[in-house]
Amino acid sequence: MEKMCKVMEVSRSGYYKWSHAQPSAQALRKAMVQERIVFHFHDSFKRYGAPKITQLLLREGYPVTERTVGTYMAELGLRSCVSRKYKVQTTDSNHDYALAPNLLNQQFHVEKPGKVWVADITFIPCREGRLYLASVMDLCTREIVGWKLGSHMKTELVLDDALKEYNMTASMSRRGNCYDNASMESFHSILKKEFIYCTRFRTKQQAYDGIFHYIEFFYNRKRIHGSLGYVSPVRFATLFEQTA
């Protein structure tokens, strides 16, 4: 021990004092926060970055800032798995089908669930063959209330039948204006950045299973949403029913 102290140029008493020193309260708090950061990061399947993890920590009683959480995540080597997106054209606007009026007109604030649903179709890459995902979202809760994965985009007859059966009124976005369907476009963008672009589907069944798990178990029931007060869509719907 004496030889080691000489090499390190420290006194023997100084070494023993350092080795028996207790971590400071600040160091303990940092360790606790970092432990919770690691938990929430992996609990979200590595999808949450500093903003969402900060909200979860605040809910748990940790007085942290987004900047502090970002610094700790960098120290821990944690980085949200958001992949670079690419653009694929999936919607054919040059057709002779009847068009519905734009009744929604970017009025995205809806006070009750089940009043306004928005829908869209997006391309899903798969080695076994081309796939398209059709999704339907409740604009109040942001919950995906229905979705279908198929090898084509032929939905006209199915859509017409559904509208008649449930006495629903159709509203269509203007051609070339993505802002008219911003909420649905946002969901598909999130789906792709957090899951699709991070995964290579070899088969259509693999794509279906993965999308099923993402939508039904993660997005609807677990993923916190900023516009919903940082709760999941299903949780928001439950809270709405309890307070209605």
As a whole number of angstroms, the distance between CA 203 and CA 235 comes to 33
- Residue 105 domain flag: no
Q: Are residues 54 and 123 in the same domain?
A: no
- Residue 200 domain flag: yes
Identify the pLDDT of residue 100: 46
Identify the pLDDT of residue 117: 85
Q: Are residues 121 and 68 in the same domain?
A: no
Domain count, the chain: 2
Identify the pLDDT of residue 99: 46
Q: Are residues 133 and 223 in the same domain?
A: yes
- Summarize pLDDT for 128-177 with one digit per residue, the tens: 998 999 888 999 999 999 898 988 776 554 455 555 555 555 455 545 44
- Residue 97 domain flag: no
Among 45, 76, 107, residue at a domain's last position = 76
Among 24, 49, 76, residue at a domain's last position = 76
- Where in the sequence is the domain holding 19, given as residue range(s)? 1-76
Among 76, 99, 132, residue at a domain's last position = 76
Give, to the nearest 10 degrees, the angle between helix 50-59 and helix 25-43: 120
- Summarize pLDDT for 173-222 with one digit per residue, the tens: 545 444 557 888 889 999 999 999 989 999 999 999 999 999 999 999 99
- Summarize pLDDT for 14-29 with one digit per residue, the tens: 656 656 667 788 899 9
Q: Are residues 58 and 132 in the same domain?
A: no
Q: Are residues 132 and 232 in the same domain?
A: yes
- Summarize pLDDT for 64-104 with one digit per residue, the tens: 999 999 999 999 999 998 755 445 444 555 545 444 445 55
- Higher pLDDT pick, 138 / 54: 54
The pTM score is 0.75
Q: Are residues 236 and 121 in the same domain?
A: yes
Q: Please give the mean pLDDT across all residues of the chain.
A: 81
Identify the pLDDT of residue 97: 46
